[in-house]
Amino acid sequence: MKYEIKGEPLPVVICAVENGETVVCEAGAMSWMTPNMSMETSGGGMGKLFGRAFAGESMFQNRYTAQGGNGIIAFAASFPGSIRALEITPDKPVIVQKRGFLASEETVEMSVAFQKKMGSGFFGGEGFVMQKLSGHGTAFVEIDGSVLEYELKAGQQLIVSTGHLAMMDASVSIDVQQIRGVKNVLFGGESLFNTVLTGPGRVVLQTMPISSFIGQIAPMLPTNNN
């Protein structure tokens, strides 16, 4: 499969699919395609159905297969930002934020990645459940806003504000850290907890989480007083 990503900050990934090749995406993610792309909706068993629901995705996935020749299929991002292509290998799975998965080759498997520490799940801003991409092949991930990457060495840490973690290597551990000091908590304008990431591995951050965007525009929206 060949692909090209166009149009940031409202990006789309356009995939050139060979005859008989299959691309998997979340329900409703397809933007346009050639007529020879055949669609099949599947769930993959109760465990995978509920796992995807916990991870913030649709319970069902669509499989698009090129029939009778090569085809084209496109997947657009749902929020202004970036689309990144990941080369997944068996020895290097990737952990992705909720709703981050966009599409992939059928050889990539998406599963649930539970946070090992309860605190990081409830207070870390990423939720108790994230998505794990494993297997092998190309996967496409949505990131809110612009992208910055850090390569953490073993034991090296990075403190991240709520919601700014887009994805990380599975080798990176995640925990939470409470903000210290009464004045800092009351007047600092930050959440009570920050996310602490510990290497080794790659960390990918996003500059405008959709949750922050909603928080900025919510006070400006008209209210219904009826």
Amino acid identity of residue 133, one-letter, is L
The 10s digit of each residue's pLDDT in 47-58 is 454 555 544 455
The 10s digit of each residue's pLDDT in 113-130 is 765 554 444 444 444 568
pLDDT at 189: 43
**Is residue 85 a contact partner of residue 103, using CB atoms and an 8 Å limit?**
no
pLDDT at 114: 64
Whole-model pTM: value is 0.80
Q: Decide if domain 2-216 falls under CATH 3.60.160.10.
A: yes
The 10s digit of each residue's pLDDT in 127-142 is 456 889 999 999 999 9
Task: Specify the length of the chain in residues.
Answer: 226
What CA–CA distance (Å, rounded) separates 130 from 136? 19
Q: What is the domain partition of the chain in residue ranges?
A: 2-216
- Which residues in the chain show pLDDT less than 50? 45-47, 49, 54-56, 118-127, 181-190
* CA separation, residue 43 to residues 63, 116, 146 (Å): 10, 26, 32
- Reported in sequence order, the residue ranges of the chain that DSSP labels E, i.e. its strands, are 2-6, 12-17, 22-26, 30-33, 37-42, 61-66, 71-76, 81-88, 94-96, 101-105, 108-114, 129-135, 137-144, 147-152, 157-160, 165-169, 173-178, 193-198, 201-206
- Please report, for the chain, how many H helices and E strands are present, in that order: 4, 19
What CA–CA distance (Å, rounded) separates 196 from 173? 8
